[in-house]
Chain A
Amino acid sequence: MTDSAALTLQDLTKHFGAHAVVRDVTLEVEPGELIVLLGPSGCGKTTTLRLIAGFVAPTAGDISLDGRSIVALPPHRREMGIVFQSYALFPHLTVARNVAFGLEMRRGPASATAARVSEMLRLVKLEALAARLPRELSGGQQQRVALARALAIHPRLLLLDEPLSNLDAALRQEMAREIRILQRAGGITTIMVTHDQTEAMAMADRLVVMHEGRVQQIGAPEAIHAQPANPFVARFIGGSNILQGRLESRCLVLPDGTVLALAGQYADSAEVTLAVRPDSVHLLAPDSDARAAGVVELCTWLGSVVEHVVRLGPDTTVLTRGPALGRDAVRRHAPGTRVSLAWEPDEERLFSAEGNALTASVTLKETNDA
């Protein structure tokens, strides 16, 4: 059943007038893989999806399926199943006719079409609603019809454009799981677009983080979370604290005079950016050996986690987050409390002014020996 294809994007570029929306996107997708294009709105992820679908033509670059370029093919000959954010069901056709649409276009025998339609409706658990019109269905049901319609044609590629954003929170997680199970069971190569990083993390085999039309980083969700390639990725994934300043020996000096002691030693002493995730910053009693000292400005209890905003200097605050319950529960500090900050050496990410990751020349082991 797996006729899913390998997808290759080569230096894909799209200009709208003078504005470059997608720039030099290069990506290799394995058969059966689920790739999520993630980024803020306007980052070019939806345009990339529309380029793959054939709704817009690239300005430059190539798209190929199993090694054969499809750039010249119109959308109706690309054999891709697409689920739109609005679901885009045909309002005048019943659920069954919606699912049958792609099969009717292929002019297969009526009995085969009917069998495939009922198979798909069973798969998405909508057999009972086959004769309904789309407007008589809930959002989640419409979503499932859209998915069944896209999968019915045995697409070479499944494209999902923000498929969960119109569903409420509880349904969203359920649908995410359902889509993931269907996709894995069918071994369907899938490209999904979303701006929601939790959703992306939950579904992706690999993430493609995009910003201003460019690919910022490609990798497994865990890898991107642990090793963001640049400050943008660090901020977008995991919501890191981003502090820009100058390196002086082993300290980071911020424009407002705040000084942070870094865990590693870095060769470059020019302008740098430090990224530390809120959940890797620990609050300790005031201590001269700490990385930085500050005053708690706000303590927020969010049920399972506690967040503190700590002011380090006139223009500098840092967000910390830790579990509210359990063995590792963090202490809650009242506003005004003096605290110091600490983080493990491997939780600290330093980037050059150009946005490249800097590696510490002194490793953790050497630091301990000193």
Chain B
Amino acid sequence: MTSGLAQSAPPLPEHVPGRGVAWLERAGIGLLLWTGIALIAVPMLLTIYLSVFDEKLILFPPHGYTLAWYAAILPNFAQPIVTSVELASAAVVGSLLLGIPAGIGLSRHRFRGRGAVSTLLLAPLTVPLIALGLAIYVMMVTIDEQLGSMITGSMAGLVLAHVMIATPWVVRLCLASLTNHDRSAEEAAASLGANPFTVIWRVTLPAMRSGIIAGALFAFVFSFENLELALFLTSPGVTTLPVAVLQYLEYHIDPLVSAVAVVQTVGIAALLLVLDRFMRLGRIVR
């Protein structure tokens, strides 16, 4: 009996300092939280602030405020924006065409070399993009020399490179969306008369819907914002928005770049919000 009492006693003395620890813990978490929010928000707010300066150079404090820089975006960057949207769209289509079948195959079959294929598909995520950009550039130049082709600096070359980087994301998200998928639903569909293509179209793809949409989104955002690959692979005729912005920055330090950044961020944020309404992205990207 006495030993039983002695054993049940410790929680009390532990509990009292426990309150102090909990208070510290809450304070610590709060500090980290607000530091994090500040780190994310301050550059963003600063960019918005800069984008309305009525100045040719970024001088502080500004003489006044204007929205003229926003009006100047299209005249200066129309062509790169079109190129970037086209490129990102092509990268989405290409990476979905490769990534969806790869995701289905990897989730369905346990074949020899599955691990190797899986690793290979995810490998581009582990190599620094700038190194990858250089390597792809060298490879394309070599191919062009050997075959007399014109891949380097062409839109096609750029699309191929972006597809290569975006596909791993699509594969990953497709695989994730199939982890809780009940394969007997596919068998049920087959028994009801659905041929293998109909089974994929009517049962498998609907089950992957969230993964496909998230994958497409990742591919689009990645491709649209990518600078490292584009640095090597763009040419005077084919310039993406990030490259055009960088080139602009070499000669002008004015608020126009801030305005571009704001529009780009708002556009992508809007896209994410709209998608979140339908898909609850938080559930997909854990």
Contact = CB atoms under 8 A, between A and B. Distances in A.
A349 to B, nearest CB: 39
Contacts of B192: 76, 81, 101-102, 105, 149-150, 153
Given A92-B206, A92-B207, A76 B190 contact: yes
A106 to B, nearest CB: 6
Contact of A106 (B184, B193, B195, B209): B193
Given A84-B184, A105-B198, A90 B193 contact: no
Interface string B183-200: 011011111111110110
A76 B187 contact: no
A364 B192 CA distance: 55
Contacts of A86: 182, 184
A216 B206 CA distance: 43
B203 interface: yes
A53 interface: yes
Interface in A127-175: 146, 149-150, 153, 159
Size category of the binding interface on chain A? 20 to 34
B259 to A, nearest CB: 42
Which secondary structure dominates chain B's binding surface?
helix
A82 interface: yes
A80 interface: yes
B189 A81 contact: no
A91 B185 CA distance: 9
A79 B193 contact: yes
Interface string B156-183: 0000000000000000000000000010
B198 to A, nearest CB: 7
A301 interface: no
Size category of the binding interface on chain B? 20 to 34
A89 B185 contact: yes
A338 interface: no
Nearest to A84: B184
A90 B185 contact: yes
B193 A88 contact: no
Contacts of A77: 193
Contact of A82 (B188, B195, B203, B207): B188
Given A76-B190, A101-B189, A88 B184 contact: yes
Interface in A263-309: none
Nearest to A89: B185
B211 to A, nearest CB: 14
A210 B192 CA distance: 28
A81 B192 CA distance: 7
B190 A75 contact: yes
Interface in A51-106: 53-55, 74-82, 84-86, 88-92, 101-102, 105-106
Interface string A179-197: 0000000000000000000
Contacts of B198: 76, 105
Contacts of A76: 190-196, 198-199
A78 B192 CA distance: 9
Contacts of B209: 92
A249 to B, nearest CB: 57
Contacts of B190: 54-55, 74-76
Nearest to B186: A88
A85 B185 CA distance: 11
Contacts of A89: 185, 188
A79 B185 CA distance: 16
Given A88-B184, A106-B193, 4 more contacts: A76-B191, A84-B187, A90-B185, A90-B189
12 contacts: A53-B191, A74-B190, A75-B190, A76-B194, A76-B195, A76-B198, A80-B191, A81-B191, A88-B184, A101-B202, A150-B191, A159-B191
Interface of B: 182, 184-185, 187-196, 198-199, 202-203, 206-207, 209
Query: Which 10 pairs of residues, A with B, have the shortest CB-CB distance?
Result: A102-B192, A105-B193, A88-B184, A75-B190, A88-B188, A84-B184, A88-B185, A92-B206, A82-B191, A76-B190
